[in-house]
Amino acid sequence: MAEPPQAKRRAAAAKPDFASIGGLALAAGGILGGLLLEGGRIRDVAQITAAVIVFGGTLGAIMVSTPIEVLMRSARKLNLVFFDTAPAANDALDEIIRLAAKARKHGIVSLEQEAETIPDDFLRKALNLAVDGTDLNAIRNMMELEINMEEHHGEAEAKVFEAAGGYSPTIGIIGAVLGLIQVMKHLENIDEVGRGIAVAFVATVYGVASANLFLLPAANKLRARMHHSIQTKELMLEGVMAIVEGLNPKLIRIKLEPYTREAFAPKADESPRAVKSPVAAGVRAEG
């Protein structure tokens, strides 16, 4: 017997984030290009000692200030800076409409087998609860708890990179001071003093550059990923609620389309849970 098409679906592959990759390359290229234009050389800032001081010191400070489980989770999320693994909101909406059309035609129980083939864990769990006849309020409470926990974990993971961006410039200054201490030991050789001072300040460059070119931007990118993921999960939850209520697929699309618009994304300093759901705003009354 041929395998049904639904069973062949898999989670979407990670998409490279060319903005992150290109932005980091542009920033590094601009700084190093400016150095070369000023007559400098790449090896002027290629100091292993400075790198050990800044990166080792920053990692040590983060380990002291962060619970180990949060630190490990944030390390696993590092790939999200360069790759987008979340399903697109439009794709999630199309999946909801397809499921709604089938449930409206054959009943929600007809989704029982198909629910097991859905690659997204959140949507699969919500749909299984609906198929099992779980009360609507119970489904909403359980799934909103998952959303709240994802927001809590995502914010904690972003703060790890944010904290590292705060520590690294200071560690860079410490490295510069340590370099100057060594320079002071050789004041009798003025040529070595000048060279030693130049090398000493490389640690400051490493600290400031790593904070502003990667660590702080990475924290913001992880928050953006978290906001997008939460909005997509809210779309899925409202979609499953609408399927259980037996609403027309066309009406469901009208309800959920605001989730697919970029203008609906929260600002960087705004919690995604603070965004008012279009369904909660009164659209549910249409059903």
Structure confidence by residue, pLDDT tens digits, 153-185 = 999 999 999 999 999 999 999 999 988 888 887
pLDDT band at 270 (very low <50, low <70, confident <90, very high): very low
**Coil, helix or strand at residue 195:** helix
Q: Percent of the chain scored above 90 by pLDDT? A: 50
Q: What is the pLDDT of residue 13?
A: 64
What is the structure's pLDDT at 235? Answer: 94
76 has a pLDDT exceeding 80: yes
pLDDT for the residue numbered 9: 46
Contact 203, 53 (CB under 8 A): yes
Q: What is the distance between the alpha carbons of residues 98 and 187, in angstroms, rounded to a whole number?
A: 77
- For residue 278, pLDDT beyond 60: no
Output the pLDDT for position 284: 39
pLDDT at 223 over 80: yes
- Judge contact between 256 and 239, C-beta under 8 A: yes
Is 60 exceeded by the pLDDT of residue 262?
no
- Which sign does the torsion angle of CA 122, 126, 131, 133 carry? positive
pTM exceeds 0.75 for this model:
yes
- What is the model's pLDDT at position 227? 92
> How open is the CA angle 92-98-104, to the nearest 5 degrees?
130
